[in-house]
Chains A and B, each alone.
Chain A
Amino acid sequence: MTRTLVWLTLAALALPALLTLPLALSPGPVLAMPAGELSLRWLREVLSVTPWPRSLGTTVWVAALAALVAMAVGVPMAIGLEGRAFRGRALLSLLVALPLAVPGVLLGVGMLALFQTLGVWGSPAALGLALAVPALPVVVLLTRQALREVPPDLALAARGLGATPTRAALAVTLPLVAPTIAGAAGLAFLLALNEAIVTQFLARPPDSETLAKVVWPKLRYSLSPAVAAASAVLLLVTLVGVGVALLGRAALSGRHPRQSS
């Protein structure tokens, strides 16, 4: 495959998502590419007419909670799984990957039954907790990979110079893995922000109605440029999230050499 063909293939992969941006600027009532005139009509509607703004706010808050939970649980789990081998580690590694293998529909049906039993169906906090589950493997896998890439000699050298295990971990290992952890946090947020399958089962108007829950039936029954505008807003939030995650990662990567010197 020539370099040009690879770039073309990659551009084709990015195209369907990016198309929502011009489609959102269509002035007419049908989903079509704007011919000449551009309009903010549908973006204005999505940002001001119920239920769009509330669902956008719910989406961001639920995703932030999911990312927070996935990080709070996933980073310690990754640290626990690394280091000296222990019995059951392979099984636990398999368990971590399970949310990636189990179909979203099955998780959705099961979680719905669980949430019904617990009486929390429709709670945004419960939805946030549920969306932390598919984000957890990404956090654990990325953090474990970062921990493996830290030369073991560095922590040993710190210990040899009199540092306690905690001090060595905080002063040597943590700064080295911090950029990856920041990237993992951003990725967990984006995965939760854009999750659409499990959300269909667990989100419930009005309290936990996310953007995906509003868009799904409209996409199925009444395709209008408002759906493209909502998708464009979601895409823009995602791209901003990617930018923030990359900047955070770069800032932490750049800070480390000064700290260690």
Chain B
Amino acid sequence: MKIPVRTLLIAPGVLLLAAGVLLPAALAVRVSLSGRDPARFDAVAGWTLAHHAEVVAEPAGRALVARTLLVAGLSASVALAVALPLALALAAWRGRAARLGVGLLMLPKLVSVLVVAVGFLWLLGADGPVNRALLTLGAIGEAFPFTNHLIGVVLVEAYLLVPLLTLVLLDARRRIDPTLVPAARGLGASAWAAFRGVTWPLLWPGVRLAWALGFAWGCGAVVGPTFFGRPEDWTLAVEAQRQLFDRLHLQRGAAAAVWLLPAAGCVALLTRGPR
């Protein structure tokens, strides 16, 4: 039997994705439904909903879910507030300036999140420039604990989202027919009226998509809550790591991680509907 060339080209990729994404996701679900053998932290035996019940039925678990959604929602909104004007401005750039601008924009995504965290720990620290500037301006009476507060968590997570959201919005802006705004201006519309009446309605699906993607990625937030949050700022992703590494409870860690799936799945709902 002759196997088509296209199948031969695609099959290794499908295999890697099946073994590297689908199978691990299925295994995480299976482990989360498994009983615990105190002798072996990774033993998978029997079936139970107890670990999921801890996430959805107990107050501490529900608080984790609520905090995950809060951190994701705030981070996506702050990132969008920065990314939208940045994308609109960058969309007008051409040539070397545009390439350099996008290069600088992508730098935070090319370096390790740990490198970024080190920089932020100094920037937002008690003796860091942000606190010193706020003290000098008289906005605060004493150093604000950004490195141990929800604000620090959201700032760091939003920072990590800005490049990707800007790229999504940049793409959405560049897809708008460039002749439409000049046509509106030619018919007497002011710059603001042309933006509000022409650009914004066409950009809106992209804005929704960017926020939803930011929200989904924000649901998996680990770096911000781990290094810049108090225990009450920890999210489901941090809980998954903590259960696994600090408590050697793989099943409970898996249950926390599995609950990230419906949280991230909100994207599908948020991006549906009339545009």
Q: A80-B10, A132-B20 are in contact. Are A194 and B112 (CB under 8 A)?
A: yes
Residues of A in contact (CB 8 Å), total: 82
Contact A80 B111 (CB under 8 A): no
A125 an interface residue at 8 Å Cβ cutoff?
Answer: no
A16 touches B127 (CB 8 A): no
Q: Are A13 and B257 in contact (CB under 8 A)?
A: no
- Contact of A76 with B111 in the complex, beta carbons under 8 Å: no
Alpha-carbon gap, A228 to B118, bound state (A): 6
Q: Which of A52-90 contact B (CB under 8 A)?
A: 69, 72-74, 76-77, 79-81, 83, 86
Which residues of A (149-208) have their CB < 8 Å from a CB of B? 187, 190, 193-197, 200-201
| Given the contacts A17-B107, A17-B119, A136 and B17 also touching, CB distance less than 8 Å | yes
Pick out which of these stretches binds chain A: B56-64, B178-186, B201-209, B214-222: B214-222
Please give the distance in Å from B85's CB to the nearest CB on chain A: 4
CA distance A74 to B120 in the complex (A): 35
> Bound state CA distance, A140 and B17, in angstroms?
12
B95 sits at the interface (CB 8 A)? no
Interface string of B114-151 (1 = CB under 8 A from A): 11111111110101000000000000000000000000
Looking at the assembled complex, report how far the CB atom of B259 sits from the nearest CB atom of chain A, in whole angstroms: 9
Please state if B9 and A235 are interface contacts (CB–CB under 8 Å): no
Q: Which residues of A contact B236 (CB under 8 A)?
A: 105
Q: Is residue A116 within 8 Å, beta carbon to beta carbon, of the partner chain? A: yes
Question: B74 contacts which chain A residues (CB < 8 A)?
Answer: none
- Size band of the B side of the interface? 35 or more
Task: Give the nearest-CB partner of B83 in chain A.
Answer: A9
A7 to B9, CA, bound (A): 43
Say whether, besides A76-B13, A103-B264, A104-B220, A20 and B89 are in contact (CB < 8 Å): no
Q: For A20, what are the chain B residues with a Cβ–Cβ distance below 8 Å?
A: 115, 118-119
Q: Which residues of A contact B237 (CB under 8 A)?
A: 103-105
B269 located at the interface, meaning its Cβ lies under 8 Å from any Cβ of chain A in the complex: no
A215 to B114, CA, bound (A): 8
* Cross-chain contact B114 with A113 (CB below 8 angstroms): no
B232 within 8 A of A: no
In residues 113-135 of chain A, which contact B (Cβ within 8 Å)? Answer: 113-114, 116-117, 129-130, 132-133
Known: A23-B122, A114-B23. A220 touches B9 (CB 8 A): no
Question: Do the beta carbons of B159 and A16 come within 8 Å of each other?
Answer: yes
In the complex, the answer to whether A136 meets B13 with C-beta atoms within 8 Å is yes
- Whether B101 sits at the interface, judged by CB under 8 Å, is yes
Q: Which residue of B lies closest to A19 (CB)?
A: B119
CA distance A235 to B125 in the complex (A): 21
- Distance (whole angstroms) from the CB of A212 to the closest CB of chain B: 6
Contact (Cβ within 8 A) A113 B159: no
Contact with A along B227-261 (1 / 0, CB 8 A): 10000000011001100110000100110011011
B169 contacts which chain A residues (CB < 8 A)? none
Interface status of B78 (Cβ within 8 A of chain A): no
Residue B26 at the A interface, CB < 8 A? yes
Known contacts A74-B13, A106-B261: A6-B89 contact under CB 8 Å = yes
| Residue of chain B at shortest CB distance from A241 | B110
> With A110-B24, A231-B114 as given contacts, are A1 and B88 in contact (CB-CB < 8 Å)?
yes
Is B37 part of the binding interface, using a Cβ–Cβ cutoff of 8 Å? no
Closest chain B residue to A104, Cβ basis: B220
Question: How far is the CB of A119 from the nearest CB of chain B, in Å?
Answer: 11
| Any A CB within 8 A of the CB of B44 | yes
Q: What distance in Å separates the Cβ of A122 from its nearest Cβ neighbour in chain B?
A: 13
Contact of A101 with B118 in the complex, beta carbons under 8 Å: no
Q: Which of B9, B12, B115, B254 has the most CB of A within 10 A?
A: B115
14 contacts between A and B (CB under 8 A): A9-B86, A13-B105, A23-B122, A74-B13, A80-B6, A95-B21, A106-B261, A110-B23, A112-B244, A113-B24, A130-B20, A132-B20, A190-B110, A231-B112
Task: Known pairs A17-B107, A20-B118, A196-B112; list 8 more (Cβ under 8 Å).
Answer: A13-B108, A80-B5, A109-B244, A110-B28, A114-B27, A136-B16, A194-B110, A238-B112
Interface residues of B (CB under 8 A from A): 5-10, 12-14, 16-17, 19-28, 30-31, 42, 44, 82, 85-86, 88-90, 101, 104-105, 107-108, 110-123, 125, 127, 159, 162-163, 216, 219-220, 222-223, 226-227, 236-237, 240-241, 244-245, 250, 253-254, 257-258, 260-261, 264, 267
Residues on A facing B (Cβ under 8 Å): 1, 3, 5-7, 9-11, 13-20, 23, 31-33, 69, 72-74, 76-77, 79-81, 83, 86, 92, 95-96, 98-99, 101-114, 116-117, 129-130, 132-133, 136, 140, 187, 190, 193-197, 200-201, 211-212, 215-216, 219-220, 223, 227-228, 231-232, 234-235, 238, 242
Interface pairs A-B: 7 shortest CB-CB: A110-B24, A103-B220, A16-B119, A80-B9, A77-B13, A133-B20, A110-B28
